[in-house]
A = this chain, B = another copy of it.
Amino acid sequence: MSGQQAVEEAITARRSVVNDAIDTRLPMAEPEELYEASRYLLEAGGKRLRPTMLLLAAESLANAAPTDPDYGAIPTAEGDAIDVMAAAVSVEIIQSFTLIHDDIMDDDDVRRGVPAVHQEYGLSTAILAGDTLYAKAFEEMLETGAKSARSVEALSELAQTCTQICEGQSLDIGFEQRGAVSTDEYLEMVELKTAVLYAASASIPATLMGYEGAAEALYGYGLDVGRAFQIQDDLLDLTTPTEQLGKQRGSDLVENKQTLITVHARQQGVDVDNLVDADTVEAVTEADIDEAVGTLEEAGSIEFARERARELVTSGKENLQVLPDNEQRDLLEGIADYLIERTY
């Protein structure tokens, strides 16, 4: 089995158990519309990359058997056992809450190939669904059975992560009103908006299991590969067919979102604001986007972003030396590569 195939199978296997756990841990409840709306996006799909990273880090630290680990009883550094699946569900719920609220703010109508939650249930219920998931994520993170002091650390990390995600989203919105943004400013925004949740996902199992040194290294891993993930997302917005993407290709250009690609292109003198004429994703044509992508390629901006993502993956993987030399560590390396090799 090739390395890439092993990684894809590892992701698929963990996605399946995470999906089951979400179903069990976030059951339907009253009021029905609120819980339907809260579960809607989680049920629509998603790769579950953050919980998969969390589970693999836990498995590697515990040197858990590669097949069929009991996520409800992962041995810690202190001799007890904890339920890491509760933490895995928690980070996926946070991700889902941020998507619901982001889609309102960004006025994005489609997500994962289905209408965004505010389109399906209205603005009020979408805001409330996000708020409900927010609380549920904190409830879940307290359900691991970890020692109280460890739970407090993990909670504190999760809360700070949420604050940073809001700060990142606020910077992102602010950038839409601005012209020139520097590469460093862009990467700081991405760190806050996207990478800190990867970092928390990778490090929280080490925190809960009492491996403090590993927690720090895994945080560094998540921060680097999380930024690489976002850069790849920005690249895929330009290169993946609309159907596969689950939303209109090139929508970032139409909506004047800053990406590492446009930041670089602007520095090369490209008139980024006029790369596509259309003001809405409904009005843009595939030919418009092809032409814009051609201009960005000529400016070297696409290759610049690809290279930066590769560098981040390389530096991120170096942190994994702190883990035991086992199959799960290899898979965490492989996931880092996968994040920038994926085509959707």
Q: A264 an interface residue at 8 Å Cβ cutoff?
A: no
Q: Tell me whether A166 and B105 are in contact in the complex, defined as CB-CB below 8 angstroms, given that A33-B174, A149-B148 are known contacts.
A: no
B170, A31: Cβ atoms closer than 8 Å: yes
Q: A96 an interface residue at 8 Å Cβ cutoff?
A: no
- What residues on B are CB-neighbors of A48 within 8 Å? none
Complex CA–CA separation, A242 to B98 (angstroms): 37
Chain A, range 121-162, C-beta contacts under 8 Å to B: 123-125, 127-128, 130-132, 134-136, 138-139, 142, 147-149, 151-152, 155-156, 158-160, 162
A142, B167: Cβ atoms closer than 8 Å: no
B128, A169: Cβ atoms closer than 8 Å: yes
- What residues on B are CB-neighbors of A30 within 8 Å? 167
Q: Tell me whether A160 and B135 are in contact in the complex, defined as CB-CB below 8 angstroms, given that A127-B101, A127-B104, A151-B152 are known contacts.
A: yes
The DSSP consensus for interface residues of chain A is: helix
A170, B125: Cβ atoms closer than 8 Å: yes
Complex CA–CA separation, A99 to B101 (angstroms): 17
A167, B34: Cβ atoms closer than 8 Å: yes
**Identical chains in the assembly:** 2
- What residues on B are CB-neighbors of A77 within 8 Å? none
- The 8 Å CB contact of A162, one of B135, B148, B170, B171, is B135
Q: Tell me whether A138 and B167 are in contact in the complex, defined as CB-CB below 8 angstroms, given that A125-B173, A127-B104, A151-B148 are known contacts.
A: no
A34, B131: Cβ atoms closer than 8 Å: no
Q: A163 an interface residue at 8 Å Cβ cutoff?
A: yes
- What residues on B are CB-neighbors of A173 within 8 Å? 124-125, 128
Looking across the interface, which residue of chain B has its beta carbon closest to that of A140? B159
Q: How far is the CB of A147 from chain B (nearest CB, A)?
A: 8
Complex CA–CA separation, A104 to B118 (angstroms): 13
- What residues on B are CB-neighbors of A167 within 8 Å? 29-31, 34, 132
B131, A101: Cβ atoms closer than 8 Å: yes
Looking across the interface, which residue of chain B has its beta carbon closest to that of A192? B31
Complex CA–CA separation, A101 to B173 (angstroms): 19
Q: Tell me whether A163 and B132 are in contact in the complex, defined as CB-CB below 8 angstroms, given that A34-B170, A139-B156, A155-B142 are known contacts.
A: yes
Q: How far is the CB of A332 from chain B (nearest CB, A)?
A: 27
Complex CA–CA separation, A152 to B139 (angstroms): 10
- The 8 Å CB contact of A163, one of B33, B123, B139, is B139
Q: How far is the CB of A173 from chain B (nearest CB, A)?
A: 6
- What residues on B are CB-neighbors of A156 within 8 Å? 139, 142
A166, B124: Cβ atoms closer than 8 Å: no
Complex CA–CA separation, A99 to B170 (angstroms): 20
B124, A105: Cβ atoms closer than 8 Å: yes
Q: How far is the CB of A123 from chain B (nearest CB, A)?
A: 7
Nearest 6 pairs of A and B residues by beta carbon: A148-B148, A135-B162, A105-B124, A34-B170, A138-B159, A148-B149
Chain A residues with a Cβ under 8 A of chain B: 29-31, 33-34, 101, 104-105, 123-125, 127-128, 130-132, 134-136, 138-139, 142, 147-149, 151-152, 155-156, 158-160, 162-163, 166-167, 169-171, 173-174
Given A135-B166, A138-B158, 11 further pairs, Cβ under 8 A: A33-B174, A101-B127, A124-B173, A125-B170, A131-B134, A132-B166, A132-B167, A139-B156, A148-B151, A148-B152, A152-B152
